[in-house]
Amino acid sequence: MSRTYRFVIVDVFTDVPFTGNQLGVFTNAEGLSGEQMQALAQELGFSETTFVLRPKADGDIRMRIFTPVRELPFAGHPTLGTAFVIAGPLQKVLLKIETDAGIVPVVLEREGARIVFGRMEQPLPTVRTVEDPRRLLDALGVRESPLPVERYDNGPQHLLVALGSSAEVTALRPDMQRLSGAAGNATVSCFSWSGSAVKARVFAPGLGAGEDAATGSAAGPLAVHLARHGQIEWGQEIEISQGTEIGRPSVLWATAEGEPGQVRRVEVGGAAVVVARGEFTV
């Protein structure tokens, strides 16, 4: 017997419709199988789609996240975008979201009844140095990285590659087939920085996303990376510009608290705006 499932389309890490990173949110996904969720995510074709379910633990909701090709344990813009969609009718300022990487709290700021900003406390990442990054750098068309190339894992995995200027970041023309082979299921976050201002582009060919407009799960590790290597202070907020090259400009804010050898807290924030609503019959 078929059933109708409603969804919302929200642009995340922006307050301007038709910019930022697109997200589909199925607001009541009870009854859908994992295979059906994957098929719906492929049908929408966004970098991620979320499915809201009843909580199993101490969260307010449970969420599953799918790219067009696979499920993720955690991702940034899906968590923030889902919080904007769900917290509005619930009149909540704190929404605890159960993910496969643990409970992610999102604190929401309002102007009247409208949510205008949200900050999520992300899972603390682990980090490993990439001992031989040559294959990855060659796929990007990059000679070298001024900071160590490292792999961060906060549910999804992210390879962080520093470049010398924002112009170098803009000029990137990676070989996506070679990059997919070099990165596997990890995203590749290429960035430059000047103080707290960061220019980033993130490629995710192994996740079926190509270039991503705004990558919240990579923003937290980026703040950790810069603090670990002495480029910013621990606790200093960075502002990340991403997505311009694909016509989806986005802004993300990220902070890493801790000290050398110990990360205590990672927070990523931004805005979001609902742009459409619809339904599928499954």
Give the β-pairing of 157-162 and 187-194: parallel
Report pLDDT for 92: 83
Residue 2 is predicted with a pLDDT of 86
Please write the tens of the pLDDT for every residue from 200-238. 999 988 777 789 999 999 999 999 999 999 999 999 999
Burial class (CB in 10 A: 0-12, 13-18, 19+), 132: exposed
Q: How far apart are CA 278 and CA 216, in angstroms?
A: 25
Q: How far apart are CA 5 and CA 25, in angstroms?
A: 10
pLDDT of residue 43: 96
User: In angstroms, how far apart are the furthest CA atoms of the chain?
Assistant: 59
Split at pLDDT 50, 70, 90, the class of 88 is confident
Higher pLDDT among residues 89 and 266, named by residue: 266
Report, as residue numbers or ranges, the catalytic residues. 48
For the chain, what percent of residues have pLDDT higher than 90?
A: 91
118-162 confidence digits (pLDDT tens): 999 999 999 999 999 999 999 999 999 999 999 999 999 999 999
Q: Which amino acid is at 31?
A: G
Same domain, 225 and 112: no
**Whether residue 136 is found in the same domain as residue 254:** yes
In contact, 93 and 37? CB cutoff 8 Å: no
Q: 203 and 152, same structural domain?
A: yes
Is the pLDDT reported for residue 261 higher than 90?
no
Q: If pLDDT is split at 50, 70 and 90, which confidence band does 180 have? A: very high
The whole domain housing 184 covers 126-268
pLDDT computed for residue 205 by the predictor = 86
Same domain flag for 210 and 252: yes
Q: Compute the distance between CA of residue 153 and CA of residue 129 in angstroms, rounded to an integer.
A: 12
Regarding whether 90 and 132 lie in a shared domain, the answer is no
Same domain, 186 and 113: no
The answer on 160 and 109 residing in a single domain is no
The total of structural domains in the chain comes to 2
Query: Do 109 and 165 have their domain in common?
Result: no
Same domain, 67 and 164: no
Say if residue 248 is in the same domain as residue 153: yes
Buried b (16+ CB within 10 A) or exposed e, 31-65: ebeeeebbebbeebebbbbbbbbeeeeebbbbbbb
CATH of the domain at 138: 3.10.310.10
Give Cβ neighbours of residue 49 (< 8 Å, ≥ 6 apart).
7, 23, 24, 25, 26, 37, 40, 41, 65, 66, 78
The predicted pLDDT at position 108 comes to: 96
260 — pLDDT class (breaks 50, 70, 90): confident
Whether residues 163 and 245 share a domain: the answer is: yes
Residues contacting residue 50 through CB under 8 Å, at least 6 positions apart = 23, 24, 25, 26, 63, 64, 65, 66, 78, 81, 82
Please check whether residues 250 and 133 belong to one and the same domain.
yes
What pTM did the predictor assign? Answer: 0.94
- pLDDT value, residue 90: 77
* Tokens found for residue 226: 């810069």
Q: In terms of pLDDT, which residue wins out, 182 or 205?
A: 182
Instruction: Work out the average pLDDT over 261-278.
Output: 97
